Structure 1
């Protein structure tokens, strides 16, 4: 396993760890999979499904050989993350118009989001290097995940969150796990730049997606989905696009599976951004070579409120390799899609619902055929953003087409009968 710059291709010196190459490019973990027998690995991963109370009971560390084989087991910090549900829904098939749609509910992770898949690896790596202080800048899910894992590791966490346009639920969760939270009058992108500049002097280990070990952990999302489906993935995979770490990780995981012969065909990846925070989609739609940051992004899907996604070059590689696409959707489309996902009994936070909103539009634009199969990644729990639920169902929203309001009623048989019979 080695660290290689995605821009200049330079390999980091053995035993050295940095977040960026000296040319400022992001680093990538590169494995040597030639030493593995793919069929033996498949059997090993299947056997580990029955593990309990060991690191291999985790839906991430089950695939340790493909993620971080060199890490000593006593450095693994885990809460048995992963092992999240893969669901189908007739209601969502009807809503989107596609023949078969699966939803990978990363919302069922211990801290309630997909960030746990990557955070367990990042914190474990930091622990192996001797770090006692961990940090991130966050719109919410990264911070709550980091705070949880740092506490399990007996370490401290320091979190920087914007002071507006984020979910208070996520901030409260982060505080509850014991993190020191700094509410700053800056955005996510400013926080990333601050940490890259000062983390070394402060003795902090960064757990944002600039950390290549975060990406290694998030690869397990696609490993797990593939294993659940007997190593036959759908034709399309759709993911929300904020910092773009998920698109990066899924693409990397797909390449691994294809290289190992676990899958014989690469699915296409679609990245969905909110209209108010869509720099990556705009770059590709306008056929530009470089991303133009958005200084003041805004969407009610607060996890997508990122104007300068640090992983855009890696995400671009994913789309190139899979012949994928991007699309942007309105907040109204996101919240309507969320209402359908919630009503299906699965539930999600607004950013997750961008996948279903995007799928619906891609079907109507005939980019995706109704007879193709699709996997949508749901990134966060329904209770991650109760402000959005209140706004849509009980608040001032006038565009809520699937609003479900409280019913005022007397607790008498005749009064209740009017609503039920």
Structure 2
């Protein structure tokens, strides 16, 4: 295993602490897949579903041969992440206007978001390198995931979180895990820029998605989808686009699954952004060669509130490989989809609901055919942004809870009067 730059192709040692190439390009992990046997791997992964209380009980490390085969098992830092549900939801299919929709609830991860899939790989590798202080810039989910893993293995975490635009629940979760919180003026992008420039000075191991091990861990999401569907993929996979790490990981994972022979058909990928924070969508739509950052991103879906997504080049490779598309949706469309997902009994934070909102729009625009199938990835838990739930209460013309109480009291009183009359 080694790292290569996606821009200049320079090779780097995997066991040296490095986030970017000297040319400024992002790094990615390379492995040799030629000696892997697809049928043997399928049997191995299936057998590991029986594992309990070992690293292979993790929905990430179950696929260790495809994630980090050289990492010693005793070095793995795991909370048995992954293992998240894949649910067929008829109401979502009807809402989007498509034949079949499955929701991949990454919200069921230990810290409540998909970030755990990548963080277990980043922290495990960092500790194998001898690092003891881990850091990230975050709109919330990354910080709580990092703080959880650092606490679990007895190390320190430093989380850089913007002063505004981040859900209180995510900040409180980070603090509860013992993360050292650094609040700063500006956006996620400013915090990441600071870490890339100064992490070495402070002895910090950066665990944002610019770290290629994060991408390796997050590949497991699509590995698990393929495994759950018995290695037969849907027509589409739809996911939200914030920092674009998930899109990057998804594309890399699909390429590897196909290269090894674990899947035959490669689904198309749709990346959904919020209209107020959609620099990647605008770039793709305008067929521009480079991304122009959004200096003042603005969306109520806080996990999407990123104006300069660092992984845009890798995400573009995913679109090229899968013949994928992008779409932007309004906050109103996001919250309409969120209400449907919440009412289905699964629930999600607003950024997750962008997937179903985007699917609905793509079907309406006839980009996706109504007879096709789609998996929508729900990235964060319902309670990650509890304030968002008040939007539903605000829609009610009067407090239904009080009316329900009054009706029930009237019924109870009437029954007691009827009983007295019978006596």
**TM class, shorter-length:** over 0.9
1:1-400 alignment, distance < 5 Å: 1-13=1-13, 15-390=15-390, 392-395=391-394
> C-alpha displacement at 1:13, in angstroms?
3.8
Alignment partners' CA distance in 2, 1:85 and 1:46: 16
Partners of 2:16 and 2:129 within 8 A in 1: no
Residue aligning to 1:412: 409
Could you report, residue by residue, the CA deviation over 1:237-263 in whole angstroms, capped at 9, with x for unpaired residues?
A: 000000000000011110011001111
Match of 2:183, SS state, is strand
Alignment partners' CA distance in 2, 1:313 and 1:79: 31
> C-alpha displacement at 1:406, in angstroms?
3.8
Alignment partners' CA distance in 2, 1:416 and 1:211: 65
Alignment partners' CA distance in 2, 1:151 and 1:14: 25
Match of 2:12, SS state, is coil
Alignment partners' CA distance in 2, 1:98 and 1:280: 25
Alignment partners' CA distance in 2, 1:185 and 1:294: 16
TM norm structure 2: 0.95
Alignment partners' CA distance in 2, 1:13 and 1:256: 21
Alignment partners' CA distance in 1, 2:217 and 2:349: 22
Alignment partners' CA distance in 2, 1:416 and 1:285: 63
Could you report, residue by residue, the CA deviation over 1:329-365 in whole angstroms, capped at 9, with x for unpaired residues?
A: 0000000000000001110000000000000000000
> C-alpha displacement at 1:416, in angstroms?
10
Q: Which runs of 5+ in 2 are unaligned?
A: 415-423
Distance change in 2, residues 1:299/1:206 (3 Å): same
Alignment partners' CA distance in 1, 2:14 and 2:229: 37
Alignment partners' CA distance in 1, 2:393 and 2:401: 8
Alignment partners' CA distance in 1, 2:235 and 2:413: 47
Distance change in 2, residues 1:86/1:129 (3 Å): same
Q: Which runs of 5+ in 1 are unaligned?
A: none
Alignment partners' CA distance in 2, 1:155 and 1:13: 24
Alignment partners' CA distance in 2, 1:147 and 1:404: 38
Alignment partners' CA distance in 2, 1:416 and 1:296: 57
Residue aligning to 2:420: none
Give the CA RMSD over aligned residues. 1.6
Alignment partners' CA distance in 2, 1:364 and 1:310: 30
TM norm structure 1: 0.96
Match of 2:380, SS state, is coil
Q: Which segment drifts farther, 322-331 or 403-412?
A: 403-412
Match of 1:307, SS state, is coil
> C-alpha displacement at 1:265, in angstroms?
1.2
Count how many residue pairs are aligned between Structure 1 and Structure 2: 412
Distance change in 2, residues 1:404/1:333 (3 Å): farther
Could you report, residue by residue, the CA deviation over 1:297-329 in whole angstroms, capped at 9, with x for unpaired residues?
A: 010000000000000000000000000000000
Match of 2:272, SS state, is strand
Give the greater-gyration-radius structure (CA).
Answer: 2
